[in-house]
A and B are shown apart, each in its own frame.
Chain A
Amino acid sequence: MKEGFRQAMAWLHTWAGLTFGWLLFAIFLTGTLAYFKDETSHWMQPEIPARSVSSEASLNVAQNYLEQHAAGASRWLIELPDDREPGLSVRWQQTPAKRGERGQFTEKHLDPQTGAEVQGRETSGGEFFYRFHFQLQMPYPWGRWLSTIAAMVMFVALISGIITHKKIFKDFFTFRPRKGQRSWLDGHNAVAVLVLPFHLMITYSSLVIFMSMVMPASILASYRGDVRGFFDEVFPASTTPELSGQPAALAPLAPLLEKAREQWGGGRTGRLTVNNPGDTNASVVLVRDGADRVVHDFGSAVTFNGVTGQLLGTTPEPSLPRAIAGSFYGLHMGHFAGPVLRWLYFVFGLAGTAMIGTGLVIWLGKRQLKHAKSAAMPFELRLVEVLNIAGMSGLMVAVAAFFWANRLLPLGLAGRAAWEVNAFFIVWGLSVLHAVVRRGRRAWVEQLALAALLFGAVPLLNALTTPYHLGASLAQGDWAMAGFDLTCLATGVFFTWAAWKMQRAAQPERVIRVRAQPITLEQEAH
């Protein structure tokens, strides 16, 4: 360790960044993709039509359907469509044979206009990226723990990076292109500083989201070890009346939406739960959609009697500390973001991903300079190189493979959704093998070119395998479908450029490396 506070922080920044860099890269990339979770799911399940129908009309459709098909159920759950998630889905729970048992759930997707059942292809959808982002495809709760630990390391890396980089604003306006290592460092600083508030917000909020899991000491101390007591106090369960056994017709549900809107000062209902439909003690719980405000409040709900429509209860507004925690949650998830803000979230997320990626490239580049003349690279540098290639370009190829699997796997395949995920991991694994076998630059160029090809051809693939090609989606104004195709095309173009740059940089590599040696980089960012 070197003397001096800034040097010490540079050391911390470097090694915290390196050890968790690849994991953080994958977390940032999948999290960024998850901002378009619903749009991705729409592309991956194009059979479910995008229709703009009012909540009231959709709810009437759902109620009609459920009264015909699930009259004897103990509970109905209705997920209303919104601007981003066009599907209307209903679930119901069978009355359990014995008391205390959990009844079976059945789920159906309905066309909100006609009420007909819609059969979408089986898919993991955008949900896969969302889940991977914080569960890392690991069993509960290990993935959540690992991703939260990674978040804490990210927090340390960010703050130590800021301390290291004291001329933060002056250097921000310095970008020296075509200077090899220097340009990477300038780029790293630029994407870091440009959206620094976003990086800080996203990192700190991810800790807040899982705080009761990773930092339960104060709960255990204040509640004398009774963790349930804490959750019952924070999320009071709405008490609903018991089954009376007297049959009574359920009142139309649609007017309750307007009543809930009055309660929430204009807030919209996201989903409804109907308990004991067809009973005199039927109750309807309307849960607020999180999309209309920043502060996320779990289970903000109003409850009505299902027969008389009488208001039974509302959940209280959250207190200030809980509203602050809720707003960190809301800011992280970005449910409230409209199209423009959502794109900003996406771009900022990409900037975060690029910041991590450039950091990893800088670490290796600096150390490679010292071995430019020798034929073989030391093992640890080669290891970092392989992980860099597979962790970045390999992951991109895997994401594209996931989309291709959605279109190419046979529709009737058993476990189709799981096979999409398998395709993702198989391709990611192959990218590691490829990076081991091929030499550094060549592996970069080949994987980037493959990613360019796979992404660039997504609109073509979509046109060949479904009737929802760009011509159709643009004509219908289905922006989620068209936007997905166009974004993939743009990604393909970007990777083509990246592969081309890598290819060109590869040729005079020897010369530049030897000449670059005397350039001493600043003490920053070791």
Chain B
Amino acid sequence: MKGKTRSLPVSYRLAVASRVLAAVLGGYIVAALASVSLSSWVPMARADAVVTGMMASFLAYLGAVIWCFACRTAGRAWLGLIVPGLMLAAVSGLAYWVGRS
């Protein structure tokens, strides 16, 4: 791997760094938004909904990380986080607006 990586261009390294950033930070934000949306919409007592949301969030994080490294380009990795992130934000925002949360 080392012999190969030494010859790898800077653009490749930047792309990897971008994916790592997307996975760690972007993934966390998507996971947090997923927990908020889930906890505001599951029909349960408030504390139970929060516990459910938190437990599920790690699966969302896992999925996001896998997505970031599985897709073909770093740009797609970001896109694949931003779109569901915005959707989840809209879902939680809607819950807030209708006063369910």
Contacts and interface: CB of A to CB of B under 8 A. Distances in A.
Which 9 residue pairs of A and B lie closest in terms of their CB atoms, listed nearest first?
A: A217-B32, A218-B39, A218-B53, A211-B54, A218-B35, A321-B48, A233-B47, A12-B69, A321-B51
A156 B92 CA distance: 27
Interface in A184-235: 204, 207-208, 211-212, 215, 217-219, 221-223, 230, 233-234
A207 B35 CA distance: 14
Interface in B43-76: 44-55, 57-58, 61-62, 65-66, 69-70, 72
Interface residues of A, number: 42
Given A221-B39, A222-B40, A321-B44, A156 B66 contact: yes
Contacts of A328: 55
Interface residues of B, number: 39
A375 interface: no
A208 B61 CA distance: 13
A381 B2 contact: yes
A11 interface: yes
Which of A3, A320, A321 is most buried by chain B, counting CB atoms within 10 A of its CB?
Answer: A321
22 contacts: A1-B12, A1-B16, A1-B19, A8-B70, A12-B66, A156-B66, A204-B58, A208-B58, A217-B33, A217-B35, A218-B32, A218-B38, A218-B49, A218-B57, A221-B96, A222-B46, A233-B47, A234-B47, A319-B45, A322-B51, A367-B2, A370-B2
Given A1-B69, A8-B69, A223 B46 contact: yes
Contact of B50 (A1, A218, A381): A218
B54 A218 contact: yes
Interface of A: 1, 3, 5, 8-9, 11-12, 152, 155-156, 159-160, 163, 204, 207-208, 211-212, 215, 217-219, 221-223, 230, 233-234, 319-322, 324-325, 328, 366-367, 370, 378, 380-381, 526
Nearest to A16: B65
A233 B46 CA distance: 9
A496 B55 CA distance: 44
A60 to B, nearest CB: 39
Contact of B36 (A12, A155, A160, A217): A217
Given A221-B92, A381-B2, A325 B51 contact: yes
